[in-house]
A and B are shown apart, each in its own frame.
Chain A
């Protein structure tokens, strides 16, 4: 614990010194779940990109050394003491941070959450990486993009009761009309178990010999399906796509079993969160239901009734960019 505290102090202190160096700049604190996680290091890169674009912004990238709410509260308290202009946080706990963040807002600090949200009363707005309709559209688009002539696709989901996957599949079915010629022949459930997903994928290829793509909107399923396609010798015939992490899917893209897949881009997320925090702190945008806030190169975010908004379509990864991301997350 002592080491943890020391490291946290060092992290905060280094932020403090950097802050003192150029006091006129707007200071935006990007607080992450824990330091040293590839995903958040990438988000910090995006935040720096936004700062460079804006010019008069300085980023304080900080967070605890382990993913605890207590560690984050400590970090946020010291940020309040430094009187930063805005805090953008990816929370380790939805509720635990609320009192501390309320205190920050009372001091005039603009608080937003991104990636992992904070309860409504603890932040001014929340930035989701994407939204259910955007994800539903993306997973079918990923399959359709490689099937200009149309074809048969099947969905390999998690469990029959997985809320996220069911919503995404429902949203996908709503937009099927936009993809003529693409037919969803089956929806099967791998229960997020590698062996069952593998078996279901093998079964799909047997039942539908002309199958062109398997859409797996789950990280276990997509990896297992890719392995099943490789083992069945159907690389090039059956394209595995859906939602997965670059580190987990690098092998599947390399083998050709997966042409492309999608997930959020942490760089874009850090960039957008910084842009939003900047506009809120500048006062040229307000966080209220229905408001739109500019996110620079990522367009605009429109806030819903809970003052949360979706950044963009999930980001597509393929052989051209997988190597840049596979070591990040």
Chain B
């Protein structure tokens, strides 16, 4: 059972097995160019999963990420239509700042008003979508209205990979350093692992949760621009329901919904696993009715793995407790 201890190892194994399975039905899927395309397609999910991971680590959940993405994306698109000459750098800064601000709203409500995160983000999720409607009047921003550089940035290929992929890699590296090498990252783990103990070590639990929501919001905002640029269209329902994919990626990646457990690598692998399924299902010729069932089954199996891993650990503690009695 020792190999079970490293979730990353299991997940990597599962991903390789999944790729092998897909390859038996559609060989071209595992060609490097296609794998790069799959990675690129999964990049927004990876970025969002990393943000969600931070939030879940602190025993919270952010259901507003997809709505945040859509709202920030719409603002970026409208900004581009109004000022086509605006450099992409400025758009990126606006996306990050607006996303962080929207995340801060969630964070403040959780921190200062002590409302359960699931309620807060369920509310802001609907509000953000409503705001998009008010901003856009329900109208779409279409590809011919966007400037070529606006939609081209994410597609620009550097060293064989599009900028979108590079941004995901960059975010992953930054998050890896933040979560493992900074006091803030460790505080986030501590808050989720044992909030009471965290308080005694001088960590402000509410403030840490606030920071987690800001990080999640900022990454969602970044994805907002990237998403709009990639699909070259912005409207109210963009990425509808995507927040559930993001949470699913985290769960598959071994991030415990109970908080405190999870790694950057796990979140990335969880997102990749889901991304591969999403990209493979259309080419392996499976009925669309089965596709939903297969995606769902993958999530439940992952949770089952999580629950088993946790249960084993719990038993050990209980048994040792019994022994001491």
Contacts and interface: CB of A to CB of B under 8 A. Distances in A.
B283 interface: yes
A199 B278 contact: yes
Contact of A207 (B26, B144, B155, B278): B26
Nearest to A194: B231
A202 B282 contact: yes
Given A193-B241, A231-B155, A200 B282 contact: yes
Contact of B288 (A189, A194, A254): A189
A203 B283 contact: yes
23 contacts: A160-B288, A188-B282, A188-B288, A189-B288, A193-B237, A193-B239, A193-B241, A194-B233, A194-B238, A195-B227, A199-B278, A199-B282, A202-B37, A203-B283, A206-B26, A206-B283, A227-B231, A247-B140, A247-B142, A250-B142, A251-B142, A251-B232, A254-B144
B26 A248 contact: no
B239 A207 contact: no
Closest 3 CB pairs of A and B: A203-B282, A251-B143, A251-B144
B286 to A, nearest CB: 11
A70 B229 CA distance: 40
A204 interface: yes
B285 interface: yes
A32 B237 CA distance: 26
Interface string A231-256: 10000000000000001111110100
Nearest to B45: A195
Interface string B263-301: 000000000000000110111010011000000000000
Contact of A252 (B143, B242, B281): B143
Contacts of A254: 144
Nearest to A197: B231
Highest count of chain A CB atoms <10 Å: which of B41, B231, B239, B289: B231
B233 A223 contact: yes
Interface in A58-94: none
A279 interface: no
Q: Categorize the interface residue count of chain A.
A: 20 to 34
Contact of A223 (B143, B242, B283): B143
Contacts of A249: 142
Contacts of A160: 288-289
A271 interface: no
Interface of B: 26, 28-29, 34, 37, 41, 140, 142-145, 155, 227, 231-233, 237-242, 278-279, 281-283, 285, 288-289
Contacts of B238: 194
Nearest to B139: A247
Contact of B143 (A189, A203, A207, A227): A227
A147 to B, nearest CB: 23
A326 interface: yes
A198 interface: yes
A218 B236 CA distance: 16
Contacts of B140: 247-248
Contacts of B240: 193
A195 B231 contact: yes
Nearest to B41: A199
Contacts of A199: 41, 278-279, 282
A143 interface: no
A254 B146 CA distance: 13
Interface string A172-195: 000000000000001011001111
A193 B44 CA distance: 15
A26 B85 CA distance: 52
Contacts of A198: 231
Nearest to A250: B144
B271 to A, nearest CB: 14
Point out which of B144, B155, B241 has the most chain A C-beta atoms below 10 A from its C-beta. Answer: B144
B34 to A, nearest CB: 8
Given A193-B240, A247-B140, 15 more contacts: A188-B288, A192-B237, A193-B237, A193-B239, A193-B241, A195-B227, A195-B242, A196-B278, A204-B282, A206-B26, A223-B233, A227-B143, A227-B232, A227-B233, A252-B143
B69 to A, nearest CB: 11
B144 A206 contact: no
Contact of B142 (A188, A204, A207, A248): A248
Nearest to B40: A231
A224 B144 contact: no
Contacts of B241: 193
Nearest to A196: B278
A62 B128 CA distance: 34
A320 B244 CA distance: 43
Contacts of B282: 188, 199-200, 202-204, 206-207
A301 to B, nearest CB: 31
